[in-house]
Amino acid sequence: MAIILYDLCGRDPELRFSPYCWRAKMALAHKNLAYTTVATPFTGIASVEDGASKTVPVINDEGRIIHDSFDIAVHLDEAYPDEPTLFDEEAAVAAARFLEAWAIVTLHPIIMRIIVKDIHDVLGPVDQAYFRPSREARLGRSLEEHQTGADANAEALRAALEPARRTLARHEWLGGRAPRFADYIVFGSLMWLVTIHGGLPLLPDDGVRSWFERCLDLHDGLARSARIAKAA
Amino acid sequence: MAIILYDLCGRDPELRFSPYCWRAKMALAHKNLAYTTVATPFTGIASVEDGASKTVPVINDEGRIIHDSFDIAVHLDEAYPDEPTLFDEEAAVAAARFLEAWAIVTLHPIIMRIIVKDIHDVLGPVDQAYFRPSREARLGRSLEEHQTGADANAEALRAALEPARRTLARHEWLGGRAPRFADYIVFGSLMWLVTIHGGLPLLPDDGVRSWFERCLDLHDGLARSARIAKAA
């Protein structure tokens, strides 16, 4: 029996625009699975499969009702292991590359606004003479102007870390069941901040903070013994 | 012979703050490899291993000189396959979760500013009566105020896609050598935009655009036949 996919539609039932339903359709096609779609307007979702979900996509796979595009993908890989995989090892390398680029373009500019002048202050004189002009040329202003500090940037840092926070709500590590290079990418960015600034401007109950503490415990507490800069 | 790691330092040679060197140190410890660090100020990098790199970390692994923390991690997994892995399959699931959260918190708000009123306009009357008040409550303003359109938000969209662009500069797919669910996550977000708006506001030579075209070709052109909304 073909899988049934409930697929969001517009006034024109052939207009299918939901990002999540597109993910599910591509995943079903990837697994070479036959499926039929049921055009479902927003206000039709409540009656899909006896109210199984408040959102689509929902699939009915021979009686198994699954909603959420990601959970559907995980289900398909588990239920149809002989079909092409939706998650695999090479993907982890590419995904870590994504994480690395995300850290550079999202996290690092915020951390620079917290610590760039303080980095300068911990350097020796020869390095200071190199660091200041090269960074000021890149930033387009003086280190003193650029560094607005932890209080001014804490909220931006917390907001930027949201994808990590959501991942860590589901997995103990960014690398899944165990720490992997993905963890060390983000951990490295935060150690940069911590060694210079002395602490993490995150709320006490932030899942990123507890994950960071677990990272500090790794490898016999390797990073716990790191030298922290003293205020100049 | 222990691996040598050139590690950025401050005036205090024990102050090690580089995010990239922290990644490399954690990776070496993860692989249970003995290593010694060489405290390296910024202006000492040029003389590391005969000028092998403009940045640290650099490692000398029995004569093999490798720089860039990510390339070091890849090298360590290849050179020491019997030690704990730095990349693996469970990691791909967690990484895709990260990508999903990134799409929600970064891409989707920008896409909403391009198409939220247009989405309303393609719905049937019953769905419109549901969509407008629920979205306006969430957005805190009218759909007409929120939708500032493609021209006003194209630059934000291009900037937000930078981590994907950098990943696609190294891998044909976000999933690595072949399309994986990671691709479908971002593709789904962009199909949402394309089905409603009619096109992608990306530059012609954008690597994200060519990847998107490759996605359209997948599975016998599944998504190429998608209905595109007509302007209301």
pLDDT in tens, B171-204: 999 999 999 999 999 999 999 999 999 999 999 9
The first and second tokens of residue B190, run together, are 């962009």
Question: Does pLDDT of B96 surpass 60?
Answer: yes
pLDDT of residue B42: 97
- B25 CB neighbours in chain A (<8 A) are 222-223
Question: Does pLDDT of B70 surpass 60?
Answer: yes
Question: Does pLDDT of B231 surpass 70?
Answer: no
Best of A100, A117, A187 to substitute, by most chain B Cβ atoms within 10 angstroms, is: A100
Alpha helices in chain A (DSSP H): 19-30, 69-79, 89-102, 108-122, 125-139, 143-146, 149-160, 162-168, 181-197, 207-221
pLDDT of residue A1: 73
Contact A22 B184 (CB under 8 A): yes
Cα–Cα–Cα angle for A4, A8, A12, rounded to 5 degrees: 110
Q: Taking residues B86-107, what's their average pLDDT?
A: 92
d(CA B8, CA B40): 5
pTM (two decimals): 0.91
Question: Does pLDDT of B170 surpass 90?
Answer: yes
pLDDT of residue B88: 81
d(CA A188, CA B58): 16
Bridge partners of A38?
A6
**Mean pLDDT of all residues belonging to chain B:** 95
Q: Which amino acid is at A23?
A: R
Contact B42 A127 (CB under 8 A): yes
Q: How confident is the model at residue B216 (pLDDT cuts 50, 70, 90)?
A: very high
pLDDT of residue A231: 63
Omega within 30 of 0 (cis) for the link into A57: yes
d(CA B13, CA B226): 60
pLDDT in single tens digits along all 232 residues of chain A = 799 999 999 999 999 999 999 999 999 999 999 999 999 999 999 999 999 999 999 999 999 999 999 999 999 999 999 999 998 878 889 999 999 999 999 999 999 999 999 999 999 999 999 999 999 999 999 999 999 999 999 999 999 999 999 999 999 999 999 999 999 999 999 999 999 999 999 999 999 999 999 999 999 999 999 999 976 5
Chains A, B: CB pairs < 8 Å? 330
Using alpha carbons, select from B177, B230, B187, B182 the residue that is nearest to residue B209. B187
Q: How confident is the model at residue B104 (pLDDT cuts 50, 70, 90)?
A: very high
- Sign of the alpha-carbon torsion through A21, A22, A28, A34: positive
Q: Taking residues B116-129, what's their average pLDDT?
A: 97
d(CA B4, CA B33): 11
Nearest-neighbour CA in chain B from A190: distance (Å): 7
CB B70 within 8 A of CB A97: yes
Residues 6 or more apart in contact with residue B212 via CB below 8 angstroms: B187, B190, B200, B202
The first and second tokens of residue B42, run together, are 């910024």
Nearest CA in chain A to B215: A26
Q: Taking residues B64-87, what's their average pLDDT?
A: 95
pLDDT in tens, B123-145: 999 999 999 999 999 999 999 99
CB A183 within 8 A of CB A171: no
Best of A17, A35, A131 to substitute, by most chain B Cβ atoms within 10 angstroms, is: A17
pLDDT of residue B89: 79
Nearest-neighbour CA in chain A from B132: distance (Å): 12
